[in-house]
Homo-oligomer: A and B are copies of this chain.
Amino acid sequence: MAEKRTDKVTITEVALLAGVSTATAGRVLGGYGYASEEIKKRVKASAERLGYRPNLLARGLITGKTRTIGVVAGDIQSPFYSSILRGIADVARAEGFGVLLTNSDELLARELEAVQLLLEKQVDGLIVAPCDTERSDHLRRALKGGCPIVQFDRMVKGLGADAVTVDNRKASREAISSLIDAGHRRIAILAELERWDSGDISSFIARVTARSIEPTTLFPSWQRLFGYVEAHLSAGIDLDRALIGRVGAYSLEAARLQALHLLRLPDRPTGLFTADGLMTAGAVDAITSLGVQIPDQLSMIGFDDLDWMSFLKPQITAVVQPVTAMGQTAARLMLERIAGSDSPPRHVTLELALTRRGSVSKPA
């Protein structure tokens, strides 16, 4: 007879019913320490009868472990972050861990607030896509305070924490090179390039040319621009600043407008490289509305893979990021840290794959 007395049944009541001490009941139910078979049976039966469920808060208070991972994503609504989160959640679930989620919207203030909340909730570790690769004292503090951190997608300069990234620079360089190899000389790039305080695009290019810049802690889109520049340099092709479409806001509309601008240049580019999925979407929108034919009038390669790129016209050759694998890897690194690993910070770089779908041909 299922009664409605499902109130709070604690280990005390289980122990009482089983006729043992709370310590013994705890040992049986928590799976630590010894207990005779006889007593194990009694305690388990009592727990079952009362519908006992452990209070993980109390356990966490004493063990100092909550078996919860805090995640700071940029925007969980985006395919990129939601796939990463899926990877994290899968690994966490398999190990009996919970996942506490927050969005930063790539705003430092919000990330700070999020980290604060997660730490106060005593998460065992933080998986985070840092907003700012320099001003991240809150992450340093967390780390010093004993909270392991795994970064993904980008890395904070000098933060001694694990990280999972991809080689954006190399993939970009190879993508551009393949366009150059196909005969293209005027290749445009469309990228969201907001966060870099050390000067404008020209100075960035100058520093890439002078090899005086460390790409590891750049934001992905800057790394992709890095590869774009490198590919031109090594092919001996002059860079045309007009072909670098810098999108200020991370919005589809902004990307679309910038793409329109590029495609209406007097000396129109014959190739286009988009630095992420949103840029690709904006570009394709513009391309479709202008009636530009892919690949006859324009060759194209995009970073990130979205489902429609494979089944709609024009199909877009894309650099595919192993997104769920990134999440899984991040979670695994985190679990190892939580388990006590004190190895030096590890940096896992996952492989990128170019999926060719026929959006590249020789220039007209």
| A190 nearest CB across to chain B (Å) | 15
Cβ of A284 within 8 Å of any chain B Cβ, yes or no, is: yes
Cβ of A321 within 8 Å of any chain B Cβ, yes or no, is: no
Measured in the bound complex, the distance between the Cα atoms of B342 and A4 in whole Å is: 12
Q: A83 — which chain B residues lie within 8 A by C-beta?
A: 77
Number of identical monomers bound together in the oligomeric complex: 2
Partner of A53, one of B1, B54, B102, B120: B120
Instruction: Tell me the A39-74 residues at the B interface (CB within 8 Å).
Output: 51, 53-58, 60-61, 66, 68
Cβ of A215 within 8 Å of any chain B Cβ, yes or no, is: no
Cβ of A149 within 8 Å of any chain B Cβ, yes or no, is: no
Are B311 and A144 interface neighbours, CB within 8 A? no
- Interface residue stretch chosen among A85-93, A223-231, A261-269, A297-305: A85-93
Partner of A101, one of B85, B114, B122, B252: B85
Q: A313 — which chain B residues lie within 8 A by C-beta?
A: 288, 312-313
Q: Could you tell me which A residues sit within 8 Å of B by CB distance? A: 1, 3-7, 51, 53-58, 60-61, 66, 68, 75-79, 81-83, 85-86, 89-90, 93, 96, 98-103, 114, 116-122, 141, 144-146, 160, 252, 256, 281, 284-285, 288-289, 306-308, 311-313, 324
Instruction: List 10 A–B pairs whose Cβ atoms lie within 8 Å, in order of A's numbering.
Output: A6-B141, A6-B145, A6-B146, A57-B61, A75-B86, A76-B76, A76-B86, A98-B100, A284-B311, A312-B312
In the complex, besides A93-B114, A98-B118, 20 extra interface pairs with C-beta distance below 8 angstroms are A5-B144, A6-B141, A6-B145, A6-B146, A7-B145, A53-B120, A55-B122, A57-B60, A68-B121, A75-B86, A76-B76, A77-B324, A79-B82, A85-B101, A90-B103, A99-B101, A101-B101, A281-B307, A281-B311, A285-B312
